[in-house]
Structure formats: C-alpha cells, structure tokens
Amino acid sequence: MTDSLDHNAAWTAFAARDRGADGRFVVAVRTTGIYCRPSCPARRPRREHVAFYPDSIAAQAAGYRVCRRCLPDGVARDQVAVAAAAAILDTGEPVALAELAARVGYAPHHFQRLFVRATGISPAAYARARRAGRVATALPASDSVTAALYDAGYAAPSRFYDEAAPRLGMTPAQARRGAPGETIRWTIAATSLGPLLIAATPRGLCRVAFDEDAVAVAARFPNATILPGDDSLAAWATQVVTQVESPGRDADLPIDVRGTAFQEAVWRALRTIPPGETRSYGELAVLAGHPGATRAAGTACGANPIAIAVPCHRIRRGDGALGGYAHGPARKAALLDREAKTGLADS
C-alpha cells in the first residue's frame, strides 16, 4: 500500500516539518509504534526507523497507534472545515468570526488559528481579499465605479478605498480604461540559476522571469513605455536575487500584476506559503477559496507572471512529485532544495 508513495520526497517533507504535506501521507515510527502527520513538532527519528503510509487506516492496519501530540487523524476534518468556511466567505455574505466558526463546528479562537495556519491570513483578511477580487473583475464591465463596489459586497464606497484601492495599484477609473500610459522599467540580474529579468511599474513588480529580455517586456506590455531600470528597481531586484540565492523569510516585495479574479486569488494564496514549505495543487485551490478547482489552480500557477516573488515553485503534485514549472524543473528543484535547507537550519 506504500508503493505509490515517493519515500524520498516524503522524508524531505517530514524532515522539514512541511505542513503542506499533512493529509497526503502519515509517518510511522517503528521505535515508538506511533504514526504522525508530517509536520509533527516532535524530535525527528533516524531515517531507518521511519515508514510512510498513504493514510491513517493503512498505518493502523500495520499495527501503529495515533500520535497524541500532533493528532494526525484531525487533519482531514480541519481541511474540510477551512474549505467550508472559505466557501461561505466566497459568497460575499458578511459573517462574524463566532458565527463562521460555529457553522463549521469549531470554537472561534481555535478556528481563527486553524484558518491562519492553513491559508496564511485570517478569515476577515480573506473576506477582504475576495471582495477586492470581485471589484477587480467587475470594474471593466460596470456602468459605474459605485455600482461595481456595491455589487462586490462593500457597504459603502469609503470601505473600498480604505481596503482595496491600494491593492489594485491604480484608481478604479484607470482600471476600467485599461491603465493607459503605463511606464515599466526593466533590468537583467545575474543569478546562479541563470539570468533573471525583473520589470516593474512605479507601484511594484510586474514581470520576473528567467531567460527573458527587454524584447519580451515590450511584447508583453505593447502599450507601455519601456525604460531601463532606476535606483528603485535596483533595490527590488536585489531583494529578488536574495530570494534566489539565500532564501529565508520572504521579502515583502510590492507587486503590480493583474489577472482574472481567480488568478489573482491563486497568486495571493501562493504568497502565503512560507519558505521551506510546499502545498499540493488541491491545497492551493482551497487556499485560494475554490475547493475542487485543482486543475484551474495549476493553470493559474502556469500563468503567474512573477517568479520568486509569487512562489509557484512551492507547489507539488498531489503524489508529492515536483510537477511542472514555467522556468524548468531543475530550477524548481534547486529553489525547493535551498528553502528546505534553510528551514532545517532554523528548526
């Protein structure tokens, strides 16, 4: 029953205490006779004392008992609850934390911690992000800015300008007209994984990609003014290169990208995954607020215009394999290996 598991990938996830691997398999420890979730905080046993099973049922059939510290059998229930809460928030219905937690069967403070651990943001922040996404979709087709704001679920236009306008990186009126007259600066940074194109508007990064140049920038943004980089871009480029060469805590890099509401939800979800951890495409769909949209989440990853800053390299297939990467599987493996080593050094 364990033949379908990639045991090397499972051990790497277990050694790194990768929460993204929770629910994909369980870890059995022969010396103690217990099985754990991959992120269990207990001290790591030696490799030869560990076995991997696809689920709790298989581990129990082999004679192992549940770990009382990490409670691996609770993973599936937690994931279902987070997905259910995300679906409620996706409707735009205003729901207080206490009511939301009660509807999925948890105490408020416990569910707040659970939701943050699974998605990287609080339920309230998630609801705000989803409203902002609905505005971004509604603005181009709406007869007026105010109508788009109310349709997206804002109680008043002032709430939108407080919460969502900064994320759009432009005024709503500009967004409706397609942001004419944009100025984009670019540079090429040398990295150990190859030359890296970094391009940005005054508000943030709009393109980061290996093996591209100014011609590619002009082709991607045909109506923009394309200029060489300046001091501001140089500072952002330094931070991006640092994330390639010595990944640790993600830099809070500003970004200025636009996609469909679903794509932007996926890209925001990617930025919540901590360095040194991975998620499956299915888990990414849950983080983005669209449980079950696994294939679409993979497509949104492929459309990600900003490598490194939006870390789609932290996504694996459901079986633990690397999966595809727009900039090549060797680069994806190298980035994950560097982040895993950093995570082990910090633990």
Write out pLDDT tens, residues 188-224: 999 999 999 999 988 889 899 999 988 888 877 777 8
pLDDT digit string, tens, across residues 257-287: 777 777 888 888 898 888 888 899 988 988 8
Q: CA end-to-end span of the chain, whole Å?
A: 31
Closest CA to 233 of 265, 267, 204: 204
Dist CA 16 CA 275 (whole Å): 11
70 is catalytic: no
- Which residue among 67, 206, 301, 312 is the active-site one? 312
Residue type, position 136, single letter: A
40 is catalytic: no
Average pLDDT over residues 89-115: 86
281-305 burial, b if ≥16 CB within 10 A, otherwise e? bbbbbbbbbbbebbebbbebbeebb
Q: Could you tell me the residue range of the domain that residue 40 belongs to?
A: 7-70
Domain boundary among 70, 85, 117: 70
Note whether residue 338 is domain-resident.
yes
| CATH code of the domain covering residue 139 | 1.10.10.60
The pLDDT value given to residue 165: 46
Question: Against a cut of 0.75, is the pTM above it?
Answer: no
Residue 300 is inside which H or E element, if any? helix 294-302
Question: In whole numbers, what is the pLDDT of the chain averaged over residues?
Answer: 79
Asked whether 294 and 262 are in contact (CB, 8 A), the reply is: no
Claim to verify: residue 203 and residue 325 sit in the same structural domain:
yes
CA distances from 208 to 72, 84, 190, 192 (A): 38, 34, 13, 15
> What 3-state DSSP class applies to 32?
coil
Domain boundary among 54, 70, 86: 70
- Which residue among 36, 40, 67, 70 is the active-site one? 36
Domain boundary among 70, 98, 119: 70
189 forms bridges with which residues in the sheet? 196
| pLDDT tier, 151 (very low <50, low <70, confident <90, very high otherwise) | low
Residue 227 is inside which H or E element, if any? strand 225-228
| CATH code of the domain covering residue 301 | 1.10.10.10
The pLDDT value given to residue 344: 44
